[in-house]
Amino acid sequence: MFYSTEILTSAFHLSKTEKETIPNIAQLLTLGIGGIGAVAVIIGMNILDRAGRRTVLICSSLATSICAAVIVIATKVNVAPLVATAMYMFNLVFQSGAGFIPYLTASEILPYYALGSISGLAAAANNLTLFVVSFIFPILGDALGPYLFVPFIVTNFLTFLFGVFLMPEAKGKPVSQVVDEYQGPIHIVAGPFKRRPRLEMVDTPITDESQSIK
Q: 44-84: per-residue pLDDT in tens?
A: 888 887 888 889 999 999 999 999 999 999 999 989 999 99
Query: Are the C-beta atoms of residues 157 and 61 closer than 8 Å to each other?
Result: yes
Which residues neighbour 14 within 8 Å (Cβ) at sequence distance 6 or greater?
24, 25, 26
In Å, what is the CA distance from 166 to each residue of 47, 59, 98, 183? Answer: 21, 15, 15, 12
Mean pLDDT of the region 36-40: 87
- pLDDT of the residue at 62: 95
The reported pTM is: 0.79
The answer to whether 156 and 65 are in contact (CB under 8 A) is yes
Other CB atoms within 10 A of residue 43 CB: 15
Count of positions (residues) in the chain: 214
Query: Closest by alpha carbon to 101, among 36, 172, 174, 163?
Result: 163
pLDDT of 205 reads: 53
CA–CA distance, 66 with 47 (Å, rounded to integer): 21
Q: What is the mean pLDDT of the chain?
A: 82
Q: What is the pLDDT of residues 78-104, one digit of tens each?
A: 899 999 999 999 999 999 988 888 888
Is residue 148 within 8 Å of 136, Cβ to Cβ? no
Nearest to residue 53, comparing CAs of 91, 92, 93, 100?
Answer: 100
Q: Tell whether the model's pLDDT for residue 191 goes beyond 60.
A: no
